[in-house]
Structures are given as C-alpha cells and as structure tokens.
Amino acid sequence: MFKKIMLGMLVVMSLTGSLLAATLTPTQKASLLFMYQEEKVARDVYITLSKQYPTATTFSNILLSEQSHMDAVEKLCIKYGVDIANVNEAEVGVFVLPELQALYNTLVIQGSVSLLEGQKVGVLIEQKDITDILAAEVGMPSDVVKVFENLRAGSYSHLDAFNKAVAALL
C-alpha cells in the first residue's frame, strides 16, 4: 500500500511539475513578446538597409538568419500562449511595442547616413540582442533557454560579421 501511495505521489508531482514548466508568468510572456519583436527589429532594419546598400551582403545574408530567429521565438510564443495576433511579420518596420517601434525608426535613420553607419547599426543591434537575450532567459523554462542560447550564438556570429564589415570600411 505504501508503495502505491508513493508511486501516486510521484506521478502527481511529475504531472504538476510538467504543468508548472509549461506555464509562464505575465512578465515572462511579455519578455517572449519583446524578444519576438526585437528579432523582427533586426530583420526589418536589415531588410531596409539591404535595399539602400544592395552591394553590402552583410545585411542580406543576416536578415535571413533573423527570420529564423523570429520563427523560433514565434513558436515559443504560440506554445506558451503569448498573444501575437497583432504582429504582422509581412509589414516591414511596424511593431506592436512602442519602444521597439522607436528603436527601429532611430536605427534606420542612423543606418541611412552611410554604409559605414549602417554596418555600425548592425553592431548595435547584435550587441543589444545579446544583452537582452541574456536578461530574458533568466528563470525561463529549459526549452526557452535552449532557444535563447541558440539565438545568442547566432547574434555573436552576426556581431563578428558586422565588426569585420565596419573594420573594412575604416
């Protein structure tokens, strides 16, 4: 009888633990939405700057990666019930979070000054992304942390590419 009770308790604890792991706090959900939109900022800035500087392959190459970053965070948003209904990925330069709308606008203006400034914008975006990912992953479930670790690795690679592009223009 004791074994059955203990087994039952373990099953309940296991189920409860998995249910808790699948639930995010409102702050964590807001963090996921922010990261989803921040990846869109990167993608959209790179789309915009790649049109302005068509010979600068850093923008066109990295924007494809940013789309995959968006897709990865979008899947997390869907899994964890984060409302992304108002996000229109097809609309370049339009964001649901005012802070990120302002960031996009500022970065495009700065990046439009010259190709060098555009490459510097890429550096700024990737540095911000790395910092924000590190902050966002704290306390998140392991699947979210794993995705964020992959995003961060990609951002380090992008940062390296933009730093090389800046150095080549100096």
If you average pLDDT over residues 50-67, what whole number do you get? 92
Task: Return the domain boundaries, the chain.
Answer: 24-169
Tell me the CA end-to-end span of the chain in Å, nearest whole number. Answer: 77
**Percentage of the residues of the chain whose pLDDT score is greater than 90:** 82
With tokens 């790649």, the residue in question is 50
pTM for the structure as a whole: 0.83
If you average pLDDT over residues 71-84, what whole number do you get? 93
Q: What is the pLDDT of residues 82-141, one digit of tens each?
A: 999 899 999 999 999 999 999 999 999 999 999 999 999 999 999 999 999 999 999 999
Q: What is the largest CA-CA distance in the chain?
A: 77
Superfamily holding 24-169: Ferritin, core subunit, four-helix bundle (1.20.1260.10)
Phi, psi of 28 (to 5 degrees): -65, -40
